[in-house]
Chain A
Amino acid sequence: MVEPAVSRDTILEWLAEVPDPEIPVLTIVDLGIVRDVECDTGVVVSLAPTYSGCPATEVIESSVIAALEDRGIANVTVKRVLSPPWTTDWISDAGREKLRDYGIAPPERGASKRALLQGQRHIPCPRCESENTELISEFGSTACKASYRCTDCLEPFEYFKCI
């Protein structure tokens, strides 16, 4: 077996260009689901699934393989790691900023039981930053989002649920 000619850091840089299929403004690195990259006799990328039933899981895995194959790396394996489980706390600061710019309110930090049980009452509007917002629906266009409305600027927006 031949050692891959590229370093772990380079692979990570390439992975940082792979978008999340459901929220393409985020890359899979922003989302915090890339857990490890091992370069030995091939490249093994460890990914953490977000929700158990997230339909994007398989799409993400094939885009990782495709992104690396495009760069000439043939022997790519994707490993699913469940532990520690992904929570919204894994989303990076850069990722949170991108979400806000895109019009999605980022999840609050501290995916504790408390946050899950009580939800969050004051989600700032990603457009005008007002805290006068109201919940329209706990459920949104994807499993990970809820729908809100700002009562100041009157814009509806999505909130990335804290899990």
Chain B
Amino acid sequence: MRPEQTLTAYALRLGDSALILGQRMVELVAAYPELEEELANANFALDYIGQARLFYTYAGELEGAGRSEDDFAYFRPEHEFRNLLLVEQPNGHFGDTIVRQFLFDVYYLLVLEALTRCSDRRLAEIAARAEKELRYHLRHCSQWLLRLGDGTEESHQKVQQSLDELWRYTGEMFAADALDDAMRTLFDGPDLGAIAAEWHRDVAAVVDEATLSMPPEQHMASGGKKGVHTEHFGYLIAEMQNLPRTYPGATW
């Protein structure tokens, strides 16, 4: 793989996780029973989608084949998406939504911080922009995890269950594959081993303060980074891609 191909694939992968989490949150727009959360959800979704656009635009420029951000988002089939399995999981109840975002955000923030120091200037610039937004996200979902975990008996039990059920999708974040290795060797990219340790420490600190327990070690699901998705993914992109595929070239 040539160095530019590494960067293209890596930028797409980052864009995919951001876009798919953003799309999941878009499904919740106008569904919140309370204005503050409604705005928080929509604002955050907008940040993720904006970040995906920056990554996709860069990938398109590197690839040099004239593909736009829309081509990547709307005209690729399921197996070409390389997002983490965690972000494609259904919204479930509010505890599931918050835990999913929390587990991802702790990881994503660490990756972005590492990328601000990578040797590719453009990725470092996008990461510097996105990192500032992620701090707000993380503060928000950490506070909710505390409130739900240390809240009522029911909220505690429900959010513990969310944590236990989503935990199996966290392993693939840290399982470095050839692309992660190439990114690290060629461009001083993130060291996933170091990030795993920091992630466990940061997650454990909030989980502990929320009076929740860390899930036991278990078998970890993986596949997202190779384009092998869970059964929920097809429905997600079917909805996301329906309009542009039915009316190609449609504009507002």
Chain A residues near B (Cβ < 8 Å): 49, 51-55, 82-87, 111, 113, 116-117, 119, 137-140, 143, 161, 163
Contact = CB atoms under 8 A, between A and B. Distances in A.
B178 interface: no
Interface of B: 35-36, 39-40, 43, 46-51, 53-54, 121-122, 124-126, 128-130, 132-133, 135-136, 139-140
A117 B139 contact: yes
B43 to A, nearest CB: 4
Contact of B121 (A49, A83, A111): A83
Contacts of A161: 136
B128 A138 contact: no
Contacts, number: 69
A83 B120 CA distance: 13
Nearest to A86: B129
B36 A51 contact: no
Contact of A117 (B39, B53, B125, B135): B135
B135 A52 contact: no
A59 B122 CA distance: 23
B130 A52 contact: yes
Contacts of A139: 36, 39-40, 43
B132 A87 contact: yes
B36 A85 contact: no
Interface core residue of A53, A87, A116, A137 (most chain B CB under 10 Å): A53
Nearest to B39: A139
Contacts of B54: 52, 82
Contacts of A83: 121, 124-125, 128
A53 B140 contact: no
A82 B125 contact: yes
A57 to B, nearest CB: 8
B48 A53 contact: yes
B122 to A, nearest CB: 8
B40 A82 contact: no
Contacts of B53: 52-53
Contact of B129 (A55, A85, A113, A138): A85
B47 A143 contact: yes
Given A85-B132, A117-B139, A51 B125 contact: no
Contacts of A86: 129
23 contacts: A52-B47, A52-B54, A52-B126, A52-B130, A53-B46, A53-B47, A53-B49, A53-B50, A55-B46, A82-B54, A82-B122, A82-B126, A82-B128, A83-B124, A84-B128, A85-B128, A113-B135, A137-B39, A138-B40, A138-B140, A140-B39, A143-B43, A163-B136
